[in-house]
Structure 1
Amino acid sequence: MSNRIKNKLISSSIRFIEYFSSSIKKKLLLMMMLITCVPVIAITAVAISESRKNLEAEIRTTNQSSIIWSGQFIDEKLKLLDNLMFSVMADLTITRYLEGALDSDMEPSYIVQSYILNKLNSVYLPNLNLFDQISVFSSRENKSYTMINGESRIIAHSSHALPLPWDRLGNLKLAYYMEDQQSPHFHMYRTMFKFIDRSILGGISIHVNWSMLDPILQSVKSEENSLIFIMDREGRAVHGLPGADYDSLALQDIHAALSSGSGEAFFKTKSYYVFQQAVGDGSMFLVKAIPTSAVLESNRRTLWFSVSLGIGLLIFSLAASILLANKATNPILKLARAISFTAESNHDEYIETKRNDEIGLLEQKYSEMIRARYRIYIEKRNAQFKALQAQINPHFLHNTLQSLGAMAVARNVPEVYQIIQTISSNFRYTMTTGDDFVTLMQEIEHVDNYLTIQNFRFKDKIEKHFQIDESAKTALLPILILQPIVENAFEHGFQHTKAPWIIKIDAVREADIVRISIMDNGIGIPPERLAEINESLLSDPGDVITFTNSMALRNINARIGIHFGEPYGLTLQNHPGGRGTLVTITLPYIPSNK
């Protein structure tokens, strides 16, 4: 492997590791893909392998029994032909003639020769379908007495060049001789010996038709592409069914396996499943070769089903892995993004959680941390506010305002005196109240003083109406939550509005709830802006930091939410009459002890 390829592999591996190491989601996805996909792939591979093994076992079982039975049937056929040859060899007249024991005076030669030919003809005629030639050879005369195709012949041979199979005589057993693949015959022959000294008298041979074995070979053929043939010990396919195409390389592999001497009825080569049975005392083999491609073709439907099922399960596993990984990691990523946003922007992002597991606990603790942070912020602002109050000497300002009031009285300017007294009261209320809570009437009196100052400023354009339930007057509420709402009417509602400017404050107690309504007859709020404000009021108290740093509507709502929680706070709507704004404050009823 070249260095360039190695470097590419290393670089790809590093990028792969970095990609999946960069996120817990990717790590979980990879792990779940491995957990789900590897077993699916393994099971599919095992199923395909087992399917092929089962098919091979079925083919092996079926064909082994078939090839053994067919081999035994061929041996029976050959045994029948061998018995026919024995019937000739056992004839005493023929044996004595071959020995030369018959004196010509006792039995003329032509009579004995005629007897031999008649004997051969008697064997030949009933078995025309099995062989087309039967011969007896006399070594003493170098002659063969032959019955071929219904004709009798006596053929003289040269002692120096005997034809096959007479040149091979001498074996005690039945022998066979096969010609090339094109020949429609093969030879069966036996040597005839003299009983006393076992010298060779001659031999007998049958020219057997291969076609007699075709029905047997045809019965073995069960697969379309299978090859059924007879192979000799030299590895030649000496006979097979018509139309068979023999691959020489496959024959070499089969012959090599047969020559190994293992004697197994089944074995595999590179291209074939091979079944064999020795016949003719091991002189030849009945062979059936089934191409492995044929087995694969038979297994194709099962294979495609297994592969399709495996792919389907793989896709399902991948989809399930992605879905589960997303579902498991999204809350963690959401929490991580919220923490990063808070750290980078100094703004707070709240997470609504409905989970009961460990991730839900983290989200809950994070939200509690953000709320605690906002409480700290509010307390800091209150501390700053009170510190600002502390920077001014209230006694000095109060005494100064009292001096100005005395001057106004001395100079007979009662209006100025009244305004100075109102300002002094408001100053005393905002600067000297030490508690965070006041009664509703204290807050109403402060609003009344504020409206008195505004009425003096705008030359009696203001009408004020207060309708407070007696049972609600002593209810406690956070300080300075009404006056900023009334102030908003002057800053945003009464601009471009003709007098009179009306401010109406109603307060009612409903069981354990105090509901305060502040109405004006200003220009109202555009619907889009009104929806935006109400949506912001419904957000978490921490969002106040994002919107504004002033003690406006959102800050008032946040203060109420921090003190009392849900469902208390502010709601805004345009006045049902068509002009002005209606702000409703909902508070729990907490009576004053004073």
Structure 2
Amino acid sequence: MRFLQSSIRYKLIALMLISTLIPIAASITVTYFYTKESVKAQTVLENSRLITEGKTNLINYLERLNKASLIPYGNKTMETILSEGVTGYEDESYVFTTLQLVFQSANDVYQVYLYINKNQTSFLKTQSFFDRQQTDSPPVNERKLSPYAVWTAPTHLSSHYGVQQLAYSNPELVFTLQRPLFRVPSPEQIGFLAIDIKLDALSKLSSQLYNKDKEDFYIIDKSGSIIFASDDAVIGQIRQDAWIKQVLSKNDVSGNMEWNEIDFSGMIFYSNVALPSLNWTIVKRIPNSQLYEDTRNLTIINTALGIFALTIAIAAVLTVSIRLTHPIKKLIRSMNQIQAGHLEYPIDIDRVDEIGTLALRFRTMMSTINDLILREYRLNLANKTTQLKMLQAQINPHFMNNALQLIGATALESGSPKVYALVSSLGQMMHYSMNTEEAIVPLSREIEYVNYYLLFQQQRFEEKLQIETEIDVSTANIPIPKMIVQPLVENFFKHGFHSTAGIGRLRIVAWIEEETLYIRVEDNGIGVPEAKMTALKRQLTLLKTTQTGQGEKIGLINVMSRLLIYYGDRANMELEGQTSHGLIVTLVIPLNPQEESS
């Protein structure tokens, strides 16, 4: 996982994928469980309603069968036949009519059987057949019932009840309503009635209660016998399955339960049908595969949509991360090249976002660094040049210093203090100019050096030279490059002053204004011709623009070159010709040279 710790791209991809995947997965999970519970609740409600409706319809049908079994009690003639037996064709016809009424009183009756104890005669009525058979007793195992009670036999194969003419017919699954007939109001049994009902009746009643292909439906009696089922193979069987025992053990009339076993996993709905003739339980089983089919389908759809959204998110993440990190990697490559020493290596990133701002700042920083390096190089070159010139001018400085001291001492012994002052000034000048350890000095020391120089000139020209200095005390400790004022003063004596032209005036002024130091040297010399002034200004402008062309002479060009090296293009040298004669040179030095223009 180290690549995740070292790469913003992979971190961004991982973060965005996690921030996308987790909400999608959470949404699918929450939707699944919420839908599952919702479907479960809806299924319970819907199937409870269906089971209740089915129960009602079944009870109504069974009640009709029960009423049909009471038809033989419906008139005196039939009661007489049951009591006295069949005495002729007319009685037999009446029995046929009675059984026909029973047969037609309910749908899906398969056959009706009547046994009259008096004649020991069995009568059997089917859809297309009616016959009688003399028998010793009813060919059916009667249950021991209380008088006037009725019982419903579980599903079984139909029989012909001893009527041999129907022995050839194929048996069919039926359930039977059995009613012993009594001499009213005594408990004496005088006959027996059995009504066989086809399972089609139950199939029709339950057809709307379940999905035959996906759900299981059962009608079970108290003993576990399957009266009817959606699976024909189990009809008529007595089952002891665990879920059947669990359902039959319930005390409530209706309800539902969850079942999770190897044989079945899902919901089981049940409702008890308790009548005098039977005790059945309607059961409907819905497997989880069917119960949560819609939930699974919805989850599959949501998952597909989530995968689609995740695919789009991945594509978007990759696109964004690549577009975001590509310029960063490009910037890193540029930094590596710069670190390797290629300071001019281009940084080609043109964007308007934060990365573009970073690249722009880095370009600006490298430009500033290159400028500083170039400036430092030029400064060192200028210092080396100045030091070389100074060294070339030295002829055994220690010897010269000792010689000057000797001359000064001799002058004092000879009573010539003026000579001593001149020699002492010369020594100070030589010490100042030959000290190569200092490139920056306070303005006060530079002015002091100029005063030593002017002392010689004053001694030379005496009353023909007037010198004036106005140095603001606040400027005394301001550091400036060494030897930038004396060359300006020296120019006056080299090019502008002639002893035959009258009194020469030289004025040196220094002051501070708006965070800028101004040093002005002005004279009343012969001035500079206009053409030469124009050329000189052009040369200074070119020097400031390109910072090249440093002259070899220690003069205006040299001074300007060193100012630009130290202070950049905020430093300046201004030249002014006076109205009739003379020259004004002003040095402009910023007091905060490290601050860059924004």
Of residues 193-202 and 180-189 in structure 1, the stretch that sits farther from structure 2 once superposed is 193-202
Q: Look up the match of 2:384.
A: 388
Q: Look up the match of 2:132.
A: 153
**How much has 1:34 moved relative to structure 2?**
1.1
Distance in 1 between the 2:331 and 2:311 partners? Answer: 30
**How much has 1:216 moved relative to structure 2?**
2.7
- Taking structure 1 as reference, are residues 134 and 354 closer, same or farther at Cα in structure 2, changes over 3 Å only? closer
Helix, strand or coil at the partner of 1:208: strand
AA partner of residue 309 (structure 1): L
- Taking structure 1 as reference, are residues 180 and 346 closer, same or farther at Cα in structure 2, changes over 3 Å only? farther
AA partner of residue 475 (structure 1): T
AA partner of residue 65 (structure 1): R
Matched, 1:71 2:55: yes
- Taking structure 1 as reference, are residues 202 and 84 closer, same or farther at Cα in structure 2, changes over 3 Å only? same
Matched, 1:123 2:112: no
Q: Look up the match of 2:452.
A: none
Distance in 1 between the 2:383 and 2:369 partners? Answer: 21
AA partner of residue 69 (structure 2): M
Match of 2:178 among 174, 189, 193: 189
TM-score by length of structure 1 reads: 0.53
- Taking structure 1 as reference, are residues 164 and 563 closer, same or farther at Cα in structure 2, changes over 3 Å only? farther
Distance in 2 between the 1:94 and 1:146 partners? Answer: 14
**How much has 1:153 moved relative to structure 2?**
3.3
AA partner of residue 112 (structure 2): I
AA partner of residue 18 (structure 2): L
**How much has 1:152 moved relative to structure 2?**
4.4
Of residues 74-83 and 128-137 in structure 1, the stretch that sits farther from structure 2 once superposed is 128-137
Q: Is the 8 A contact 1:165 1:177 kept in 2?
A: no
**How much has 1:166 moved relative to structure 2?**
0.5
Deviations 1:438-497 (A, max 9, x none): 99xx9xxxxxxxxxxxxxxxxxxxxxxx9x88974663524996669xxxxxxxxxxxxx
- Taking structure 1 as reference, are residues 480 and 201 closer, same or farther at Cα in structure 2, changes over 3 Å only? closer
Distance in 1 between the 2:108 and 2:326 partners? Answer: 86
AA partner of residue 29 (structure 1): I
Percent same amino acid at aligned positions? 16
Matched, 1:133 2:111: yes
Helix, strand or coil at the partner of 1:179: strand
Matched, 1:475 2:529: no
Match of 1:306 among 294, 302, 316: 302
Distance in 1 between the 2:535 and 2:369 partners? Answer: 38
**How much has 1:186 moved relative to structure 2?**
0.7
Helix, strand or coil at the partner of 1:72: helix
Helix, strand or coil at the partner of 1:42: helix
**How much has 1:82 moved relative to structure 2?**
0.4
Q: What does 1:159-170 align with in structure 2 at a 5 Å threshold?
A: 164-170=140-146
Q: Look up the match of 1:176.
A: 152
Q: Is the 8 A contact 1:137 1:204 kept in 2?
A: yes
Q: Look up the match of 2:478.
A: none
Structure 2: gaps (5+ residues): 158-170, 396-480, 492-531, 551-560, 576-583, 586-598
Aligned residues: 417
Q: Is the 8 A contact 2:99 2:125 kept in 1?
A: no
- Taking structure 1 as reference, are residues 142 and 276 closer, same or farther at Cα in structure 2, changes over 3 Å only? farther
Matched, 1:322 2:299: no
Match of 2:197 among 205, 208, 220: 208
Match of 2:16 among 32, 45, 56: 32
Helix, strand or coil at the partner of 2:124: strand
TM-score by length of structure 2 reads: 0.52
Q: What does 1:225-244 align with in structure 2 at a 5 Å threshold?
A: 225-228=214-217, 230-240=219-229
**How much has 1:239 moved relative to structure 2?**
3.3
**How much has 1:84 moved relative to structure 2?**
1.9
Q: What does 1:429-468 align with in structure 2 at a 5 Å threshold?
A: none
Q: Is the 8 A contact 2:124 2:131 kept in 1?
A: yes
- Taking structure 1 as reference, are residues 341 and 253 closer, same or farther at Cα in structure 2, changes over 3 Å only? farther
Q: Is the 8 A contact 2:68 2:106 kept in 1?
A: no
Q: Look up the match of 1:217.
A: 206
Distance in 2 between the 1:171 and 1:366 partners? Answer: 111
Q: Is the 8 A contact 1:169 1:203 kept in 2?
A: no
Distance in 2 between the 1:228 and 1:52 partners? Answer: 23
Q: Look up the match of 2:449.
A: none
Q: Is the 8 A contact 1:135 1:144 kept in 2?
A: no
Q: Which has the larger radius of gyration?
A: 2
- Taking structure 1 as reference, are residues 481 and 109 closer, same or farther at Cα in structure 2, changes over 3 Å only? closer
AA partner of residue 148 (structure 1): K
Matched, 1:377 2:353: no
- Taking structure 1 as reference, are residues 315 and 171 closer, same or farther at Cα in structure 2, changes over 3 Å only? farther
AA partner of residue 318 (structure 1): I
- Taking structure 1 as reference, are residues 213 and 148 closer, same or farther at Cα in structure 2, changes over 3 Å only? same
- Taking structure 1 as reference, are residues 118 and 361 closer, same or farther at Cα in structure 2, changes over 3 Å only? closer
- Taking structure 1 as reference, are residues 64 and 470 closer, same or farther at Cα in structure 2, changes over 3 Å only? same
Distance in 2 between the 1:180 and 1:434 partners? Answer: 133
Deviations 1:265-288 (A, max 9, x none): 555554565554444636334445
Distance in 1 between the 2:48 and 2:205 partners? Answer: 15
- Taking structure 1 as reference, are residues 108 and 225 closer, same or farther at Cα in structure 2, changes over 3 Å only? closer
Q: Is the 8 A contact 2:154 2:225 kept in 1?
A: no
Q: What does 1:463-542 align with in structure 2 at a 5 Å threshold?
A: 472=538, 475=541, 477-478=543-544
AA partner of residue 174 (structure 2): H
Q: Look up the match of 1:488.
A: none
Q: What does 1:418-433 align with in structure 2 at a 5 Å threshold?
A: none
**How much has 1:147 moved relative to structure 2?**
2.9
AA partner of residue 392 (structure 1): L
Helix, strand or coil at the partner of 1:477: helix
Distance in 1 between the 2:342 and 2:234 partners? Answer: 86
Distance in 2 between the 1:183 and 1:482 partners? Answer: 123
Q: What does 1:248-267 align with in structure 2 at a 5 Å threshold?
A: 252=241, 255-256=244-245, 258-261=247-250, 263-267=253-257
Of residues 215-224 and 193-202 in structure 1, the stretch that sits farther from structure 2 once superposed is 193-202
**How much has 1:308 moved relative to structure 2?**
2.5
Helix, strand or coil at the partner of 1:475: helix
RMSD: 5.6
Of residues 295-304 and 203-212 in structure 1, the stretch that sits farther from structure 2 once superposed is 295-304
Distance in 2 between the 1:32 and 1:328 partners? Answer: 13
Q: Is the 8 A contact 1:170 1:200 kept in 2?
A: no
Matched, 1:81 2:65: yes
- Taking structure 1 as reference, are residues 396 and 28 closer, same or farther at Cα in structure 2, changes over 3 Å only? closer
Q: Look up the match of 2:470.
A: none
Distance in 2 between the 1:40 and 1:121 partners? Answer: 70
- Taking structure 1 as reference, are residues 78 and 362 closer, same or farther at Cα in structure 2, changes over 3 Å only? same
AA partner of residue 259 (structure 1): L
Helix, strand or coil at the partner of 2:305: helix
**How much has 1:80 moved relative to structure 2?**
0.9
